[in-house]
Chains A and B, each alone.
Chain A
Amino acid sequence: MKYLLTILATAFLGVIYAQPKGVLSEKKMVPIPAGIYDPFFIKTSPVPIKVAAFKLDESAVTNLEYLEFVKANPQWRRSKVNRLFADSNYLRHWESDVSIGINNKDIYNSPVVHVSWFAAQAYAKWKNKRLPTVQEWERAGIAPPKDSKIKSVVDYIAKWYSIPSPKVLPNIKSTYENTYGLHDMHGLIWEWTFNFNSFIGTGDSRGNTEDEIKAFCAGGSINVKDKSDYAGYLRFSYRVSLKGNFCIANLGFRCAKDN
């Protein structure tokens, strides 16, 4: 009952807070046409997975954008949030519950990180959007950079892995734009997906169950379609290690919407 009341109170306050709107312009969404998703892991099913047309935020949700959400939804404030839904690292880079911090100006327009899956879900809902699925995200992320000087996405990501994490997370639109018009799909942060907990077996499990053996064995390479796409490997390994309430320094999100 207490929880219900919190929700109600939140909803109430949310309405109040939402009044002075228009501080930030609405994030542009980019249409992604329908197509086929070629799974990174070859499954037992030979049928290709169709991905319907959808729209995806052109960039990750920023600290400033997320601040509006937190102001409008007090149960998502750092001091209020339920640990079931966000661990103790939630928004730890912010100065306080409702302030990113004047000393953190550099990251106002950087992707918000230290946010959980539940938080990202709630934000997306609040925006009348949703989180993209792994299939959607991967399909959108595979598009090549607009800038022909960048040879390949994989090379670009390889560079990202080869340099240390920056002390201050760069702003959105600081990496490359792909041919769909999406920014920073790789090379800035990792992003939550709706179904990040999709089954692929554990990172290097030799498998206990038959399902697992089919999905993943011998160091997780036998069933991998493109063995040279080690960036793809890293993304899938990363997702496997996540739990819904994890809040991590290089993990943010962007929202999707049905067409």
Chain B
Amino acid sequence: MQHFKTRIVQSALFLSLIVWSFSCKTKTGSSGINDKGAFDISLIDTVLTGIVTAELTDPPMVPKPLEYSSPKTVMVELEAVEKVMRIADSTDYLFWTFGGTVPGKFIRVRQGDLVDFTLKNMPDSKVSHSIDLHAVTGPGGGAEATATAPGQSTRFQFRALHPGLFVYHCATGPVGLHIANGMYGLILVEPQGGMSKVDKEYYVMQGDFYTDGKFEGKGLQNFNEQAAIDENPNYVLFNGKVRSITGKNALPANVGETVRLYVGNGGPNLVSSFHTIGEIFDKVYVEGGSAVNNHIQTTLIPAGGAAMVEMKLEVPGVLNLVDHSYYRANSKGAVGQIKVSGKENPSIYNKIRK
């Protein structure tokens, strides 16, 4: 890919300036908010200790937890790829993606890291792309610095100030179309000290799709703009394809394990009533932030929002993940599965056979 001509964007200094002025305000304004409220201002003065390249993963996988304890410069490179893929078993769609998958590659950094971000747009792309990462403090969430023509690349840096799970998406006009075509993903900013340890982590992201043909209509399908305006999708999907994480592709786990799902919602239109049939979320990091709610049946995930949900698996079986706005699960594809293996535990669940 030596043909990409890197465009060095001047935003680094600008960003640090914003960061600096913001920190001043925080200092004078309110010293009390620290652990839950504003980010820890001392972060910005922390010296960065080395450069690492971020591990990026395709859904449903999540990069390994980070092991470093002091902020680093993290190199991230994503490619905007326009690509025909299956949206259903016999239906194709020209997706616009970050990294060739829907959702795009999962990015994992740590609070305080300086993220050095490069966006490449593949030479055979038809249109320009950009990226707005909701984890960015700065103009357009990076979109301002990353308007990228086919075959070109752009670059900017941002400081990951706030911990949490954030959506990123293409922000090139018309934004709705880019999102409707699949251009979104998640970036996790681990809090200092990292996330608590769990046994399994998976990446699930919902999106709504609008095609000319009906649900699972055969062949290559066109985008249907009127359906998008009417917010009337023919597909509501986890990870960009009907049955992407069901059956043989179900997310594997074992009895006794704690599973954490990083759940995002790209939209562009619908809000998700995310629910797991047959489990209760022990913990929900509400809206992907620091607040933890316990014992949750269904959590609302807004378009352009995310949440982390955790459940300890007590009994074997198949757990269906659904958008509990039920016809989406029924008729539009919004179903995923966790396949739990292990020993039955009749004291928790016992089916009485007559």
Q: Closest residue of chain A to B228, judged by CB?
A: A230
Interface string of A223-259 (1 = CB under 8 A from B): 0100010100110111011110011111100000000
CB-CB under 8 A for A241 and B3, given A204-B171, A248-B150: no
Pick the residue among B128, B140, B225 that contacts A237 (CB under 8 A): B128
In which size bucket is the chain A interface?
Answer: 35 or more
Contact: A162 with B225, CB < 8 Å? no
Contact: B123 with A249, CB < 8 Å? yes
Contact: A162 with B222, CB < 8 Å? yes
Contact: A203 with B130, CB < 8 Å? yes
Q: Closest residue of chain A to B170, judged by CB?
A: A204
Contact: B173 with A236, CB < 8 Å? yes
Contact: B148 with A219, CB < 8 Å? no
Interface string of B1-28 (1 = CB under 8 A from A): 0110101000000000000000000000
Pick the residue among A202, A240, A249 that contacts B151 (CB under 8 A): A249
**Interface of chain A residues 193 through 224 with chain B (CB within 8 A):** 202-206, 208, 219-221, 224
What CA separation (Å) do A150 and B173 show in the bound complex? 25
B147 to chain A, nearest CB (A): 4
A159 within 8 A of partner (CB): yes
CB-CB under 8 A for A238 and B128, given A89-B151, A161-B223, A230-B174: yes
A160 within 8 A of partner (CB): yes
A158 within 8 A of partner (CB): yes
Contact: B149 with A238, CB < 8 Å? yes
A65 within 8 A of partner (CB): no
Q: Closest residue of chain A to B130, judged by CB?
A: A203
A22 within 8 A of partner (CB): no
Contact: B94 with A234, CB < 8 Å? no
Interfacial residues, chain A to chain B (CB-CB below 8 A): 87-89, 92, 158-165, 202-206, 208, 219-221, 224, 228, 230, 233-234, 236-238, 240-243, 246-251
Given A158-B223, A234-B174, 20 more contacts at CB 8 Å?
A88-B5, A159-B222, A161-B223, A162-B222, A165-B126, A204-B130, A204-B140, A204-B143, A204-B172, A208-B144, A228-B225, A228-B229, A240-B128, A241-B152, A241-B172, A246-B152, A247-B151, A248-B150, A249-B124, A250-B150
